[in-house]
Amino acid sequence: METFGKRLAEATEKRGRLCVGIDPHAALLTRWGLSDDIAGLERFARTVVEALADRVAVLKPQSAFFERFGSRGIGILESTIRQSREAGALVLLDVKRGDIGSTMAAYADAYLDPSSSLCADAITVSPYLGVGSLQPAFDVAARNGGGVFVLALTSNPEGPSVQHAVASDKRTVGQAVIDEISQLNAGAEPLGSLGLVIGATIGDTGHDLSRVNGPLLAPGLGAQGATPSDLRSVFGESLRNVLPSYSREVLAAGPGVVELRAAAERAVADCETALG
């Protein structure tokens, strides 16, 4: 079974380095002229998949925007994951789960076990019960060729109060997370399957990313204020592992399929130029 790291490297080589979020929040549904209900959600998700799943390397559905519609919303999320993967896109399900023991194992089975209807190629997780608490997700991902992206340095203004806090060993909390994931990825070829989430808006924080050997998801491009040229100041010599992530900047081009595709193509071109 191919690892997620290998599959991601192949996908970005073929389709370009771009992750597009699928974020059907109320304001965006309204902008598309859709109703903020299950019918609007279904139309939105189906259009994004039709436009992008056969040409973008990674699609990132935000689970919360589907969950808010209850069981029917989850059903549409299941269809969105399945159809996206069938069209060749890798699916990174943005769920940001984090717990301990059997509960974390249950989350891992829900999102990373092929027997689950919610199974994606990778998920996002939160390490703030300790990176070790995420081991069940790492194990299920490894067993099934999946990936896990761990929050490390996020773009939200509340993040630094926790992530930049300095521990007794003089490392920040964020650097400790980075170092643990780096150790778990050591020796992986061509790329480790454990990634980090590092906001494109944070600038040069002095954190060392040189040994991560895994994908670096960079949300915050476009509507959140970061530009592709900002990636160099954030990631430095680790640009080769960066996976730029857009949501509203691309999605706002809808509801037309042609317009969505054109917006994604511009994003890929801009990011490839900036990343070299």
| Record: fold of 4-275 | TIM Barrel (3.20.20)
Residue 224 is predicted with a pLDDT of 80
Q: What is the number of other CB atoms lying within 10 angstroms of the CB of residue 105?
A: 16
Whether the per-residue pLDDT at 222 is higher than 90: the answer is no
Residue 196 is predicted with a pLDDT of 98
Find out whether 200 and 155 touch, Cβ atoms under 8 Å. yes
CA–CA dist 122, 248 (Å, integer): 21
Angle between helices 135-144 and 101-112 in degrees, nearest 10? 30
Q: How far apart are the first and last CA of the chain?
A: 30
Domain ranges within the chain, ordered by starting residue: 4-275
pLDDT by residue (tens digit) across 25-48?
Answer: 999 999 999 999 999 999 999 999
pLDDT by residue (tens digit) across 141-184?
Answer: 999 999 999 999 999 999 999 999 999 999 999 999 999 999 99
14 a catalytic residue: no
CA–CA dist 271, 155 (Å, integer): 19
H helices present in the chain, as ranges: 4-15, 26-31, 38-52, 63-67, 70-86, 101-112, 135-144, 160-163, 173-185, 231-235, 248-251, 257-275
Find out whether 112 and 137 touch, Cβ atoms under 8 Å. yes
Catalytic residue among 6, 14, 60, 96: 96
Q: What are phi and psi of 128, to 5 degrees?
A: -85, 15
Whether the per-residue pLDDT at 239 is higher than 90: the answer is yes
Find out whether 264 and 50 touch, Cβ atoms under 8 Å. no
Residue 1 is predicted with a pLDDT of 83
pLDDT by residue (tens digit) across 69-102?
Answer: 999 999 999 999 999 999 999 999 999 999 999 9
Q: What is the number of other CB atoms lying within 10 angstroms of the CB of residue 255?
A: 18
**What percent of the chain shows pLDDT beyond 90?**
96
